[in-house]
Structure formats: structure tokens, C-alpha cells
Copies of this chain bind each other. A is one copy, B any other.
């Protein structure tokens, strides 16, 4: 039994409670606790052209100029290791949005396949080569991003690696970008992930204009 105490109608897990948790319970809890995450498939290939595909929930915005995205990978975990090694060897990778019709196939890429097996084949997703970009996109995805490796930071606290890449090309369905650059991800059916294994659709609550002190928040229709 976990020790917890009531604070109003809340209960608490302390750091030492978390340390003592059963491993799978802790994995589920801590993977959920930060909130919803991005849902992407990372496509890579090795020098022989052997393709690899892996689901990642850690793709995060780093900056818009230059256009940079980060992601967290584990060097010791088998599936992402192929991804990381291919990124380091080739210098390129793709980020492909997961939408609701492919969440099962996307999740299937998280199985620990042998390096000789392409998750594209095993999970029935289609590699797509566009404009000579040196990494495979996912044909079924609606938003596809060609990335070039830029920097990496080894996180001492747990041995994970923060991989930073620069956006080299963005492919989107015609008409999906508004006049102000806004992408309606709901219309594109882009999914979001919680925890290790749950996929969700999103429904917009509200979009707000740039906030200024002492002025009421304006809604963008």
C-alpha cells in the first residue's frame, strides 16, 4: 500500500512514495503526470537503406527561427536506439503526425523489433520518399516534417538524450494553414498521447489573442 494523505480532497504521492512504487505503476503515473503529449512517428534509415519507424511522444517546440524541434530518446532502450543510431549516422529523420485512423499501427511500432525488421513493413505503414529527402516519411500521415540533426544534450540525471533537429521541409495538405500561419490540428485529426499508451482526439476550447497586461483576453474566432 502506498502512503498518502488527504489535503482538502486531494491526495499526495511524495518523492519517496514514487521511489518505492512498483515499476509499471510508476511508469504509468509519471508518464501521465506532465499532461498531454505530441503523437508522432519518427522515420529513419541506415546506410543500407533499411528503414525504421518509431512512435515518440516527446517531440517539443524549441524555437521558430531557426525552426527547431526537440525529442527525448533513450540510448539503452532497444527501439529508439535504432532511431537514434540512424539519426546520428545519416544526419536526417522525419517527424510524421499520428491521426486517429493509424493509432493502432503507430502504437505497434513500439514493440521491440529486431534491427533487421522495418516497422513500416511489420506495422503496415508505407514509407514515402519526397523530393530526395534522405529519410522515409509516412505516407499515411497528413503532416510530415523533414528534419536535419543539429545538436544533442546528454541528460546526466537519467542518461536520456535530448536530440535537437532543424526543420528542413514541412508537407501539409493544401488549405490547412490559415492566413496567419495557424494550423488547425483538429481538422487534420492530429492525435495526442497521454501516458505510455493512450491516444486521444482534441477538440478546441478556445483560441486567444496575444495577451497584454490590464486588458481583457480576446477570443480569436
Residues of A within 8 A of B (CB): 6-7, 9-15, 18-19, 21, 23-40, 57-70, 72, 95, 97, 100, 103-104, 107-114, 117, 122, 130-131, 143-145, 150-151, 153, 155-158, 160, 162, 164, 166-174, 177-178, 180-183, 185-186, 190-192, 194-195, 197-215, 217, 220
Contacts and interface: CB of A to CB of B under 8 A. Distances in A.
Contacts of A209: 197
B33 A63 contact: no
Copy number in the complex reads 2
A97 to B, nearest CB: 6
A209 to B, nearest CB: 7
Q: Say what secondary structure dominates the interface of chain A.
A: mixed
Nearest to A215: B111
A203 B200 contact: yes
B204 A198 contact: yes
Contact of A195 (B37, B40, B65, B183): B183
A113 B211 CA distance: 10
Nearest to A162: B162
A40 to B, nearest CB: 6
Given A104-B206, A153-B153, A172 B60 contact: no
A160 to B, nearest CB: 6
Given A36-B36, A158-B66, A205-B103, A171 B28 contact: no
A70 to B, nearest CB: 7
B162 A166 contact: no
